[in-house]
Structure 1
Amino acid sequence: MACTVPKTKLGSQGLEVSKQGLGCMGMSAFYGPPKPEEEMIELIRQVVSYGVTLLDTSDVYGPFTNEILLGKALKGIRHEVQLATKFGAVIQDGKAVGRGDPDYVRACCEASLKRLDIDCIDLYYVHRVDTTVPIEVTIGEMKKLVEEGKIKYIGLSEASASTIRRAHAVHPITAVQIEWSLWSRDVERDIVPTCRELGIGIVAYSPLGRGFFSAGAKLLESLSETDFRKLGQPRYQAENLQKNEKLFIALCQLATRKDCTPGQLALAWLQHQGDDVVPIPGTTKFKNFEENVGSLQVKLTSQEMEEIEEFFHADAAAGGRYHESDSTYQNSETPPLSSWKS
């Protein structure tokens, strides 16, 4: 199959990836029961043959099983991809909290390398920031892993602007992974400008609003009872869902005029934010993947971008993207380095 997905530089440290990546979480965790392994291996290999090179996973997906899946799927084609995984999101009482002490950083890296069955991780993220450990300490240990050849590039996920700056001062940060979509635009205030000032690439997760921009409220009809979107995601709850469905209807109307699907329009809007932005929509179906990469062909004028943003302004969505108590960039500040006693 011919390569159809163009490449772009991610950050200023030399990493080059496809302009759209693949989020692999839903194959193994959080979105209902794990999908059949052989089907997912075939899907991953199809995606790579299509020209997508950035594959995203984490040790917490499963936990562990998604990394094992990726390891199996990439046998013989490892050289064709840039593999990103994460550590530091520990599930406690149903919520992800950060952990970033040096021994844990190193142990997680070694374990991920083993599960993925590789010698080096291309892009290694701090999945959630440990608010009890200075970020300089966490990044300092990751710097050692770079020097040892265990990882190539360092990333952060859900980190505040000040945390990003402090981390970048220890070792160049190649990418920051954030939730950015038509209904998650808060990151445009501080996170995105900080990344651009420092030459850090932006990887956008949940660019389709966790599937909402592809199907709207009817998406819930197809979700299993164990899918965490159904179990308490604020934007999917009763009154919020009714308000958000109006946004979806507006998106559908705009997409009809552009002769594309609503999901493609949502992705196209994000891809028009700049060459430093790489969305990683997830899917477990090849037809959905084909639709997603088709968004790269959708061209938007500045007037069309403005029209979309009139509907999807920063406060348009009803409900938060997480519960207030969840760990996100908004509560990712860490103690000063001077407070650390190793």
Structure 2
Amino acid sequence: MADNKKIQIPRLKLGNQGLEVSKLGFGCMGLTGVYNAPLAEVDGIAILIDAFNKGITFFDTADVYGSHANEVLVGKALKQLPREKVQLATKFGIAGMGPDGMIVKGTPEYVRSCCEGSLNRLDVDYIDLYYQHRVDTSVPIEETIGELKKLVEEGKIKYIGLSEAGPETIRRAHAVHPITAVQMEWSLWTRDIEEEIIPVCRELGIGIVPYSPLGRGFFGGKAIVETLSANSFLVAHPRFKGENLDKNKNIYIRIENLAKKHKCTPAQLALAWVLEQGDDVVPIPGTTKIKNLDDNIGSLTVKLTKEEDLKEIFDAVPIEEVAGDRTYGNMKKATWTFANTPQKDGNV
């Protein structure tokens, strides 16, 4: 099994605007609940410090995670770390949930108030990478990015990012102020962004930050070799339910068998595949367990050849065999869901 003993986590430039991060990031969302019960604050802080001590310096949170609690926790962890050596990313734009789905806001006034709120909760002077979490279809992207540009000029944020934005939205935003990174779901069983989003990002020199690179824990064995917690939102996720899960288990078994060949865990193999997609790709797996953190770091030692191994892994997960949507319920209504003929403005 690949492990993380004395692993030097590489550093790279995320996008071409100058932001340097660790090749592997840490998604903080789960520390305050979602997949399992929230961690005790002291335990959440401890895992972030451990991640930093092992070479991960790129931490991803959002104002909506834990109803602000996630940013507070991350801020407390930062007090025990050298701030200048941490690349802190947070997000704004999801104002809540309504009967028709996410309530998304992107007005200049809202952008500024969210930034001030995040700076306060994180207790920092600046945010390294500030993402628009979801695109507000009622506000021209130029207005939203225009306000973010002002925040850059004021030194409150250093770099601008987008999450779940379509190709034309990315282009329009980038024309107002350079976009440093685009965060999208990307894993072995969610590859929709490869056709349009990835080429646009690479054309414009924008880094790619895959969230849920382990398929929301699926490739780590969640719902296959583990029992889902009753309070986990995964119990309602289409890919983890009923017949869909029964079908998807076949995919897990294939990856499990390939992992044995590479002498690593299924999670390490799945994450190694994402890591191999390019030097402009920085996945942000999250976890609440040190052993899983170590497992994720160990994926950096899994050696895959471009021609044979990557194709074998790719072929083990035929996208047409993946059962269930990548997201569920009202979440779809505020997410660019990659229909067969996606809207060209990306603001779906």
TM-score, length of structure 1 as denominator length: 0.94
Deviations 1:32-53 (A, max 9, x none): 3211110111111011011101
State whether structure 2 residue 336 is matched by structure 1 residue 329: yes
Query: What CA distance in whole angstroms lies between the structure 2 residues aligned with 1:209 and 1:219?
Result: 15
Q: Which residue of 2 aligns with 1:16?
A: 20
What are the residue-to-residue correspondences of 1:275-314 with 2, within 5 Å?
A: 275-301=279-305, 302-314=307-319
Structure 2: how far apart are the matches of 1:71 and 1:32? 21
Once the two structures are TM-superposed, the CA of residue 312 in structure 1 deviates from its matched residue by 1.5
Once residues 267 and 77 of structure 2 are traced to their aligned partners in structure 1, the CA distance between those partners, rounded to angstroms, is: 27
Counterpart of 2:191?
185
Pick one of 200, 210, 214 that aligns with 1:194.
200
Q: Indicate conservation of the 8 Å contact 1:96/1:128, yes or no.
A: no
Letter of the structure 2 residue corresponding to residue 140 of structure 1: G
Instruction: Give the one of 316, 325, 328 matched to 1:320.
Output: 325
Alpha-carbon shift at residue 244 of structure 1 (Å): 0.5
User: Is 1:168 matched up with 2:184?
Assistant: no
Question: What is the distance in 2 between the residues matched to 1:150 and 1:16?
Answer: 18
Once the two structures are TM-superposed, the CA of residue 220 in structure 1 deviates from its matched residue by 5.7
Structure 1 Cα separation of the partners of residues 347 and 253 of structure 2: 41
State the 1:289 CA deviation. 0.4
Does the 8 Å contact 1:234/1:240 carry over to 2?
Answer: yes
2: CA distance, partners of 1:216 / 1:62: 22
Q: CA deviation at 1:6?
A: 1.0
Alpha-carbon distance between aligned partners in 2 of 1:269 and 1:308, rounded to the nearest angstrom: 8
Distance 2:79 2:223 in 1: 38
Residue 90 of structure 2 corresponds to 85
Task: State the distance in 1 between where 2:347 and 2:313 align.
Answer: 37
Gapped regions of structure 2 (runs ≥ 5): 338-342
Structural RMSD (CA): 1.7
Distance 2:142 2:285 in 1: 31
Aligned-pair distance for 1:76? 3.9
Q: Calculate the TM-score normalised by the size of structure 2.
A: 0.92
Match of 2:30 among 26, 30, 51: 26
The number of residue pairs the alignment matches comes to 333
Amino acid at match of 1:88: G
d(CA) in 1 for partners of 2:85, 2:223? 37
> How far is the alpha carbon of 1:307 from its aligned partner?
1.0
Aligned pair partner of 1:228 in 233, 249, 256: 233
Deviation at 1:266, TM superposition (A): 0.2
Distance 1:43 1:294 in 2: 16
Determine helix, strand or coil for the equivalent of 1:9: strand
**Aligned counterpart in structure 1 of residue 46 of structure 2, from 42, 47, 50:** 42
Assess if the C-alpha contact under 8 Å between 2:89 and 2:130 holds in 1: yes
- Unaligned 5+ segments in structure 1 are 336-342
User: Residue 339 of structure 1 corresponds to which residue in structure 2?
Assistant: none
- Tell me, in whole angstroms, the C-alpha distance in 1 between the residues paired with 2:267 and 2:10: 19
